[in-house]
Amino acid sequence: MGEVHPAGPDLVESATCAQPEVLERAIGKLVLLGKQVGVSTDQIIQLLESGLTVAELVVYVALLNKVCVCD
């Protein structure tokens, strides 16, 4: 398995041509998962604007997904 590098300001500043496409797909998947668990795109934006990090948002939506699957 490859190395895991933390995302930080340097990662954002050194974006390559391929990275925006990867980011777009990742955001699309997060939005779709959010819809599956009852979190709208507007709610995702509000959560991020209120100070939630993207990593925290992913964990939150994943936990909601686990709760929805288990119910």
**Domain carrying residue 47:** 39-71
Name which of 23, 22, 19, 40 is nearest 31 in CA terms.
40
* 2-45 residue pLDDT tens: 444 455 555 555 556 668 888 899 999 999 999 999 999 999 99
Is 67 part of any domain?
Answer: yes
The reply to whether 17 falls in a domain is no
DSSP 8-state secondary structure symbol assigned to residue 38? T
Q: Provide the whole-model pTM.
A: 0.65
* Residue 26 in domain: no
53 domain residue, yes or no: yes
Q: Is residue 43 part of a domain?
A: yes
Establish if 9 belongs to a structural domain: no
Number of domains in the chain: 1
What pLDDT score does 23 carry? Answer: 86
Asked if residue 19 is part of any domain, the answer here is no
pLDDT of residue 16: 67
pLDDT reported for residue 2 = 45
Asked whether residue 14 is domain-assigned, the answer is no
- In whole angstroms, what is the distance from residue 52 CA to residue 16 CA? 26
